[in-house]
């Protein structure tokens, strides 16, 4: 068991560091590294976690919380695979994600490639790309997304650029002023669909269809960890 805990801890730590190096070291990546360290400590002090009452309680709390998070992540990823677009939408909102060296990361490229396929198959649909500029970035997420879509052959006149949205809630709130009550779909990563549905509904975009894009397997731990933290932080919008 000690060896298994060590392997899990090492894998999580390396995965978090790799995702931070190839993308951006954010809350999700940091959480995965922290989880890896916890598993490494658990394996190193395995006997103490079995005998000392305080550590046994901490171990049980950690195991319960981790199980709940893993179950939620699995449910979110599975639900995100079942697209609900009907083909009669007028707009599609493409949600942003942090850039790497002012270029889309693999997660964002997956969303954009999904958008390209959708827009090519629905020539009457306009796109809204959403995402502000980070403190270190020279270009906004939305502008990088626009450039990527145009480079893939999408007519720029079909793209609305929202450079002021700094999170999912703001993206839907700003998009509401464009789509009004027209039928709308949104494209995001599969793990992000549940929270996006919640935020769309809160912002008045009712019955929005969703289209999920796949995420590289090695990035799922960091992405799901970030999503759970963001889900907890999003509770504040229900009280506004």
**Is position 24 within any domain?**
yes
Tens of pLDDT, residue by residue over 1-58, are 888 899 999 999 999 998 888 777 788 889 999 999 999 998 998 888 888 888 888 8
Mean pLDDT of the 75-97 span: 92
Q: What is the pLDDT of residue 47?
A: 87
**Contact by Cβ (8 Å): 208, 185:** yes
**Contact by Cβ (8 Å): 82, 120:** no
SS3 (DSSP) at 208: coil
Q: What is the pLDDT of residue 48?
A: 86
Residues 22 and 104 in one domain: no
User: Cβ–Cβ contacts within 10 Å for residue 108, how many?
Assistant: 25
Residues 95 and 210 in one domain: yes
pLDDT at 137 over 70: no
Residues 210 and 108 in one domain: yes
Residues 95 and 202 in one domain: yes
Residues 95 and 211 in one domain: yes
| Domain region containing 47 | 2-80
Q: Residue 238's pLDDT band (boundaries 50, 70, 90)?
A: confident
Q: What does DSSP say about strands 99-100 and 103-104: parallel, antiparallel, or unpaired?
A: antiparallel
Output the average pLDDT for the chain.
91
Residues 104 and 211 in one domain: yes
**Into how many domains does the chain fold?**
2
Residues 73 and 122 in one domain: no
Mean pLDDT of the 181-199 span: 94
**DSSP structural state of residue 164:** -
**DSSP structural state of residue 14:** H
Residue 64 burial (10 A CB sphere; 0-12, 13-18, 19+)? exposed
Query: Where a domain ends, among 48, 80, 112?
Result: 80
Q: What's the CA gap between 140 and 171, in Å, rounded?
A: 13
**Is position 69 within any domain?**
yes
Q: What is the pLDDT of residue 59?
A: 87
């Amino acid at each position: 068991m000690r060896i298994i805990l060590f392997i899990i801890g090492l894998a999580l730590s390396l995965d978090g560091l790799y995702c931070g190096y190839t993308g951006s070291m954010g809350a999700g990546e940091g959480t995965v590294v922290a989880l890896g360290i916890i598993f490494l400590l658990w394996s190193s002090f395995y006997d103490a976690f079995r005998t000392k009452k305080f550590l046994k309680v901490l171990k049980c709390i950690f195991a319960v919380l981790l199980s709940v998070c893993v179950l939620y992540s699995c449910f979110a990823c599975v639900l995100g695979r079942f697209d609900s677009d009907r083909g009669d939408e007028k707009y599609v909102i493409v949600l942003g994600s942090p850039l790497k060296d002012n270029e889309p990361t693999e997660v964002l490229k997956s969303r954009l490639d999904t958008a390209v396929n959708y827009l090519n198959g629905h020539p009457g649909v306009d796109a809204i790309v959403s995402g502000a500029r980070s403190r270190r970035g020279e270009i906004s997420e939305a502008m990088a997304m626009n450039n990527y879509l145009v480079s893939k052959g999408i007519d720029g006149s079909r793209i609305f650029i929202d450079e002021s949205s700094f999170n999912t809630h703001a993206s839907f709130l700003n998009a509401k002023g464009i789509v009004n009550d027209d039928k709308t779909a949104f494209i995001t990563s599969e793990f992000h669909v549940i929270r996006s549905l919640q935020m769309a509904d809160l912002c008045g975009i009712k019955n929005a269809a969703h289209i999920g894009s796949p995420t590289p397997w090695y990035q799922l731990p960091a992405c799901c960890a970030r999503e759970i933290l963001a889900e907890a932080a999003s509770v504040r919008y229900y009280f506004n």
